[in-house]
A and B are shown apart, each in its own frame.
Chain A
Amino acid sequence: MKPRRAEYSSVVAHPVLRAGVAVGLALGAASVLFWASGADPLAAYRVMFGYGFLNPSGLVASLHRAIYLALCTSAFIVPLRAGLWNVGLPGQVYAGALAAYAVPFVLGLHRTLSGQPGFAVPLLMAVAAAVAGAFLGGLVGFLRARMQVNEILVTMMLNSALFWIVSDFIKEGGPFMSATAEGESFTLPDPLRPALWAGLPPTALGAVGVALVVDFVFSRTAAGYRVRAFGLNPRAARYAGIDPVRVSLGVFAVGGALAGLAGYHYFAAVPGLYKIPTNYGYYGDLSFYGIICGLIARGSAMGALPMALLFAGMSLGGRFAQGALRLPFGVDYAILGLLMTTFVATHLLDRARLPLRPRSTRLAQPGKTRAEGTL
């Protein structure tokens, strides 16, 4: 396929620069916060990046988190390409986690004591997580497609609802409550944990594969074309015979499935956890990094992969730096917020520049921003 110039200029060249600017500005703003909290910003960054990327155990944890963020990013990107906002990542992550834990619970395997890490049950758990996420996302897609219900409101409501449903399952006598500690789920016994390869679960391969497939679908297939057309102009898509219900339902089901898979990954496939912990809400909040990843990568799932790793390391290192330098709680949250702001700023400043670009073939229309006349 020949290079499509319009796409090149808008998806590859600019975003790298813009992403760099956004991240740089966010870090710059964060150093003001560190400084205000009485810490040396340079020292803070040294600790942050040192732990997130150079410390061996930190790096592995960063990779685990990057897989999670990459899946969340894809889960956000797929509906975004159809012009829909999937801010329901936390809810879908929770749904995935609950469904994954339901598998051993229903099969009565959660009391198994020993054995080798296997494949069959973990695979079943992953599938269950994806199906649950797809179901929850599909509900949003259905409401959006059939009744034009605002998807942002519905997904946010589902986030809050699912948050409490998870508590219902793991706390105060809920079915998944652990026998020992209050407020967390049972721990997965060994046979229910997926085998690791170089310290990474199979979901690592899954995250990269998903990103590849997502980009391929959007650039080469008819289905991807239909979603893009719908995202940019739903009325034109209808004219072209593209079924809006199928598109909305489809992208939200896929997005939900990927977020559900992300939930499976973090709560059931990452060494050191293998349970739904008391602070599961924190993992839900982390999924919002997926929104920023997707926005900064301008809808390119592969382009988002390095970003996911960067943000994973930064959020993890930020937490570590917080303890090491006695910074206030929530360094990772602050960076999240700053990244979002600098993204919006760079995005909109770029937009604001648009009218100044020469438009050779465009005829004048009264009502356009005044710019240099050519005649």
Chain B
Amino acid sequence: MTELLLRSLEASTVFLLAALGELISQRSGVLNVGLEGLMLFGGTAAFILTQATHSYLAGVGVALAAGAFLGLLHGFFSVTLRGDQVVSGMGLWILSFGLTTYLGSPHTGPLGIQRLPPVLGLSPFVAVALALVLGCWLLLFRTAAGLAIRSVGENPAAAAASGVDVRAVRYLCVVAGGALAGLGGAAYTLSYNPVWNYNFLMGWGFVSLALVFFSMWNPWLLLGGSVLFGVMWQLSLNPELVLPGVLSRYVWRAIPFVTTIAILALISTQWFRTRWGLAKPEALGLPHAPE
């Protein structure tokens, strides 16, 4: 049971890192539905480089760089060209889905090097993610930069009139968000499940995206949501621990996804919206045309 919890926390970390990146990006008003793609790329790049160099640090570095680069591309499409952010995000996802399958397939199999030394029985990624939650909260709610980020996501025209450089803020957020998504992918392939397989995420990125919506764009609620989903995920992998013999193991695998839909529907009800609807960044997904 303890082991299940520890595994759950490691799963949560993957969700958390990626979702935290998306949260920052969305707080500045940029929606990146290609989150899963960024994670796939970060995870694959980290896996290949770590296998080649036997250095986890190099893997993490390349994951951050790959995610940041894709974030930069998304920023160029959605901030500079002011294109449809959904088109660009879906493009990034399918691009990564296709390319990582090709680039990673020669490396299919386990990582094959010594595992990361645990910190308090947990992967070091867990500690990093927790520190990032605190950092992200401080940044967004306790600094002038955070005020600027939130304002850009709510009302870019108002922010611009106050002298905030809307483009710069959005670029920074979408690049930082991309880097975190890449890190989330690395947490998966280097620590949570260090075996490369084509399309290894199978929906983790989209669940992370949903978690951002569940979190009301608040890092602490995001932490809670990620832990819950991590536990649910591990339980769906090992249903015999709770309800042995009930339903086939495949049906259990489907349950986190169905739960996600149910929660999405719940937070979209009129009742919920009128009470908590203000949390959503008003300008999310809308390009800003400077005056």
Contacts and interface: CB of A to CB of B under 8 A. Distances in A.
B130 to A, nearest CB: 26
A172 B91 CA distance: 36
Q: Report, as a range, how many residues of chain A touch the other chain.
A: 35 or more
A149 B272 CA distance: 13
Contacts of A167: 250, 253
Nearest to B98: A337
Interface stretch (A158-166, A206-214, A267-275): A158-166
Interface in B89-103: 90-91, 94-99, 101-103
Interface stretch (B1-9, B10-18, B51-59, B206-214): B206-214
Interface string A141-152: 001000111101
Interface string A314-344: 0000000000000011110111111011011
Interface in B45-86: 77, 81-83, 86
A352 interface: yes
A154 B91 CA distance: 18
Contact of B88 (A172, A329, A337, A344): A344
A210 B105 CA distance: 37
Contacts of B96: 337
Nearest to A288: B94
B137 to A, nearest CB: 24
B165 to A, nearest CB: 17
Contact of B91 (A152, A171, A343, A369): A343
Interface string B89-128: 0110011111101110110100000000000000000000
Nearest to A170: B250
Nearest to B107: A328
A167 B265 CA distance: 26
A65 to B, nearest CB: 17
A347 interface: yes
Given A147-B269, A153-B264, A336 B98 contact: yes
A338 B106 contact: no
Contacts of B257: 157-158, 160-161
Contacts, number: 159
A153 B98 CA distance: 20
A329 B250 contact: no
Most buried by A among B99, B249, B290: B99
Interface in B184-230: 198-199, 202-203, 206-207, 209-210, 213
Contact of A168 (B102, B248, B261, B269): B248
B147 interface: no
A156 interface: yes
Interface residues of B, number: 49
Contacts of A341: 91, 95
A330 B198 contact: yes
Given A171-B250, A340-B90, A348 B81 contact: yes
A334 B202 contact: no
27 contacts: A152-B90, A153-B213, A153-B261, A157-B258, A157-B260, A157-B261, A159-B203, A163-B202, A164-B253, A168-B251, A172-B248, A172-B250, A285-B97, A288-B97, A328-B103, A328-B105, A329-B101, A329-B198, A330-B98, A333-B97, A337-B102, A344-B83, A347-B83, A348-B87, A348-B88, A367-B289, A368-B289
Given A348-B81, A369-B289, 8 more contacts: A152-B33, A173-B248, A292-B94, A295-B87, A333-B101, A334-B98, A334-B102, A367-B289
Q: Lowest 7 CB-CB distances: which A-B pairs, in order?
A: A337-B98, A344-B91, A334-B102, A168-B250, A330-B101, A329-B105, A160-B203
Interface of B: 33, 77, 81-83, 86-88, 90-91, 94-99, 101-103, 105-106, 108, 198-199, 202-203, 206-207, 209-210, 213, 248-251, 253-254, 257-258, 260-261, 264-265, 268-270, 289-291
